[in-house]
Structure formats: structure tokens, C-alpha cells
Amino acid sequence: MNKLSVEFAEFVVAAMQVMAALFIFAIGFLVLWVIVTYVIDVTQTQQTIRRNYPVIGRFRYLFEHVGEFFRQYFFAMDREEYPFNRAQRSWVYRAAKNVDSTIAFGSTDNINGAGRVLFVNCAFPTLGQDAVPPKPVVIGSECKHPYTTASIINISGMSYGALSSPAILALSAGAKSAGCWMNTGEGGLSPYHLEGGADIVFQIGTAKNGVSDVNGILDDDKLIEMAAHSQVKMFEIKMSQGAKPGKGGILPGEKVTEEIAAIRGINVGQDAYSPNRHPDINSFDDLIDMINRVRNVTGKPTGFKMVVGSPGQIDALLSAIVARGVEFAPDFITLDGAEGGTGAAPMPLIDSVGMSLRESLPILVDKLGQYSLRGRIKVVASGKLVTPGAVAWALCAGADFITSARGFMFALGCIQALQCNKNTCPTGITTHDPKLQKGLHPQTKSVRVASYVNNMVKEVGIIAHSCGVKSPRGLNRTHARIVMGNGLTKGMDEIFPELEKIKE
């Protein structure tokens, strides 16, 4: 045996000895871990499973934690998952990446399911050369600075704090490119909103972040300061939100950085809880007063966001407006449905409070017509409207504009990890951890945001053209049918027949 062979044999023997030693060490460590864990489990009193089944009982909690990820990627069918299924997310991803969104063979959706919306195709659909883009709509025509926009789909309120700075910057730049607006959410106006160049709707939340004095009272000087930004086109008073009507915003302390604290006027590192409602708005008359105060101070269109609890609330609101005079009416109403989302909210509110947008939107539009306010007040629909079919339904129901939050989060790369209420978002969208934020490249993601908007408008247009109208804004209730409990369909115009067709 030559010298090289001897050395190789010695190396193999030494390697095997090291591996054997490591194996023995690992076994010893495992045995020690089992003994220590056993003692800990049988002596603790917090968890019954661990006390009765020491060591192995811990796997129950591990499987519970990883179960949601296994269901998402391996077990759930394309149309089964909540809050958004794989088919919905996939369409948004493809639209944002500007890749082919066609599918083959047939639909995986249940078109016979109760509540399903089916659009009324025309025998003679619109030809491509006859199609026209959505026409501009004026909001607040009587204001000193009215806002005119042709945008159909816009970015709903997501505040800096709930979202990271790269996410806000990407959304703003994408909105600028696509020609849509961006709502600040209740966290105030950040430099990242402005840097992207988008049209901005400044939301006044119940904590009045960014526009209050040291005592938390609405400050006219701060309103003027915000309105001085040419990008700020409108103001929205947030009364309630779909995922948590009756509950104020929640920002965990671990997400309250120095910059966010300065913008909001809160303490660094402390949980920020907004009041359940505006302390200075105790009635619809107070709301009307607030709307007119903000509008008069800023000179810009002002409206409010609400979730309807019952149709009677709409009657009470519109009666108060009519009693004061049409000139006191809000310039727009953003209607959120119980299906709306949030970064953090109690489960009972998410699951069980508020009317759905599917029910409340047609009712609001009809009642605006009944009170002769339909031409005065524009309607913005919000609540799980992330696909062309959902947006086309809202237009049929009577909405002037649509806003979405989670659709744009998917466009940024959200994987529905359900960690928005923590500082651990793996895609960098809802975290302020620099290590996680570095994966979100604003310049790249802004292109995806714009592509999502453009492809949304394009595919809503495809539905409109199939229905025989030239533009998405031409859709009305005669163009949609709803599947009833018996599996047969009924026209939306039959279910909600009161729509006054006063849409600009």
C-alpha cells in the first residue's frame, strides 16, 4: 500500500471517529434535553397537554403553528382559503408582474353558488375600436380646489406605521405612474407619501394624527399645513373601518419608531390606541359640522369613511344633511364593508360586526337617490375588491370609485403570512425591521403597483365590453345577475330597483 493510500485510510478513520463522537454527543444532548423538558413539563401548570403528555405534547403547538402554512401551500384548494384564496392572489400577482393572466380549460369557481355575481353578456359586444377609457369625475365641484380624476381603482387607507417606509414609497410612486390616488390612513402624512408623487387623500382618524394640537384637538393651522401640499387633494374623516367598526386603530409599540412617533405625535415604543370614535363627533350633525370645518379651512373636497350597521343609519345621516341644506353635504362617502381588512383588530369585530359591502353599497346608492343627493355626493366602495369581477360588481351597484388595500399589498408581494399585527412580516411590507425591509425594492415594486392598476382597468373594461358598453363607468345594475339560493339568477336591477342613474 502506497503512502497516499495510507494517509487516505487514516483520514477516513479519523473522520469516522469524529462523526461517532458527534453522534454520541448529539444523543447525549438529546437525552439531556428530553429529561430537562420532561421535568419542566410535568411541573408547570399553564398547559394541560404538556403536563399530561410531557415532551411529546409540545409537538401539538408546533403543528398548530405551522399548520396554517401547510394548508396554504399544500392542502387548501384554489378557491378554499380565507381571507383571500389562491386564485384571487394569483390573479393579482400576475397582473402586478404584467404577465399573461389567461387560464385554460375552465373556471375553478362555483358559478352556481348563492350570492355569486354573473355579468350579462351582450349579443353584440363592444368592438375594440369603439372602446373608450374611463372619463374623469369631479369631486367637490363647489370647493375652492375641486379634484378631478379618471381613476377607477385607488389605494385605500394604509398608514405609515402599519406599513413600512419602502412599502409606502413604492405605493406612492406606483400610484403616481398609474394616475390613481393614495389614502394616507390614519397615521398622518409621511415624507414617503410625498416622495413618490402620488395624489393623496389625507385621512383624519379618531386620534387626529398629524392635525391635532398637544391636547389631541383638531388644529386648523395643522389642517392648513397639510392642505398646503399640492399633492393632498382631499380629506377623509374616518368614522369606522370594515374590519373593526366601533374600534380605533391599533399600532403595536414595537412598530412605533422615532420617526413614526414624531409624525403621529405619540410616544416611541408604546402601543398606540386610537379612540373608538371621534370624541368631538357625537351625532350626524356633529359630523356635518366637522366636514364643513375641514372643507372651509382647507378649500379641498372633504368626505368621510363609514361602515353601515343598518339601513336606518343611512336614513338618519341623509335626513340630517337635507335638513341643513345640500351645500353642507360631504363631497364623498367611502363605504367600507364588514369584509374589509386591517393590520390588527379583535376577532369578534372582524368576524361579526357591520353590514357587508354587497348589501350596504346598493342601499346607500339608492338612498342617496331617494334624498336627491346622488349627484352631489360621490360614492367610494371599499372592502375585498381586489379582482376585476369584484370591481365591476361595485360599478354596477353604483360606486363612482373603488379603493383597495390588500390588493395593493399583494401587488407589493404580500404572501398572506397573517403577521401584519407583528413586526415580523417576511416580505418587508408591514415591518420596521431593516433586515426584512431590505427585500422590498421600492423602484421595482412601484412598477408592479402601476401594472396592477392598469391591468385591473383593462380587465374591468373587458367585462364592460362583453356587456356591450364602451367604458367601465357605463356598467349599471342591468349588467349583473346574482345567483339566488335556489341556484337560479336574478337581475341586480330586480333586487335593487331604486337606482337613480345620476352618475357623471
Could you state, in order of their start, the residue ranges of all structural domains in the chain?
A: 3-75, 119-495
Task: State the pLDDT confidence band at 503, using cuts at 50, 70 and 90.
Answer: very low
pLDDT reported for residue 71: 65
Higher pLDDT, 72 or 51: 51
**pLDDT of the residue at 80:** 66
Least-confidence region, from 158-162, 212-216, 375-379: 212-216
Find the range with the poorest average confidence among 88-92, 177-181, 295-299, 372-376. 88-92
| pLDDT tier at 69, thresholds 50, 70, 90 | low
- Give the lowest-confidence range in 89-98, 161-170, 224-233: 89-98
From CA 222, how far away is CA 204, in angstroms rounded? 12
pLDDT at 429: 93
Residue 412: per-residue pLDDT: 94
Q: What is the pLDDT of residue 79?
A: 63
pLDDT single digits (tens) 5-63: 767 777 777 888 888 889 998 999 999 999 999 999 889 888 888 888 898 888 877 77
- Average pLDDT of the segment spanning 288-309: 97
CA 149 to the chain's CA centroid: 21
pLDDT attached to residue 285? 97
Residue, of 325 and 5, whose pLDDT is higher: 325
Confidence (pLDDT) at 90: 86
Of 127, 152, 136, 122, the closest CA to residue 470 belongs to: 127
Q: For residue 502, is pLDDT > 60?
A: no
The pLDDT of residue 497 is: 86
In this prediction, residues 226-242 reach a mean pLDDT of 95
Per 3-state DSSP, what percentage of the chain is helix, strand, and coil (rounded to 5)?
45, 10, 40
Question: Would you tell me how many other CB atoms lie within 10 Å of the CB of residue 284?
Answer: 17
Find cell 346622488 and name the residue.
374
Q: Report how far apart, in Å, the C-alpha atoms of 403 and of each of 181, 239, 340, 351, 412 are.
A: 9, 16, 11, 21, 16
Mean pLDDT of 356-377: 95
Arithmetic mean of pLDDT over the chain: 89
Q: Helices 388-397 and 442-466 sit at what angle, rounded to 10 degrees?
A: 60
Amino acid identity of residue 464, one-letter, is: A
Three-state secondary-structure class, residue 418: coil
Whole-angstrom distance, CA of residue 379 vs CA of residue 359 = 15
Q: In terms of C-beta density within 10 A (0-12 exposed, 13-18 middle, 19 or more buried), how is residue 216 classed?
A: middle
Comparing 38-52, 201-215, 382-396, the range with the smallest average pLDDT is: 38-52
Over range 350-354, report the average pLDDT: 83
Q: What percent of the chain has pLDDT over 90?
A: 62
Q: Quick one: pLDDT at residue 422?
A: 82
Lowest model confidence (mean pLDDT) among 62-71, 86-95, 240-249, 255-264: 62-71
Q: Residues 6 or more apart from 79 whose CB is under 8 A from it?
A: 85, 86, 87, 108, 109, 110
pLDDT for position 504: 41
- Could you write out the three-class secondary structure of 366-398? HHHHHCCCCCCCEEEEECCCCCHHHHHHHHHHC
Mean pLDDT is highest, among 59-68, 269-278, 398-407, 413-422, for 398-407
CATH code, 119-495: 3.20.20.70
Q: Are strands 147-149 and 137-139 parallel, antiparallel or unpaired?
A: antiparallel
| Helix, strand, or coil (residue 115) | coil
Inform me whether the pLDDT recorded for 191 exceeds 70: yes
DSSP lists the bridge partners of residue 304 as 237, 333
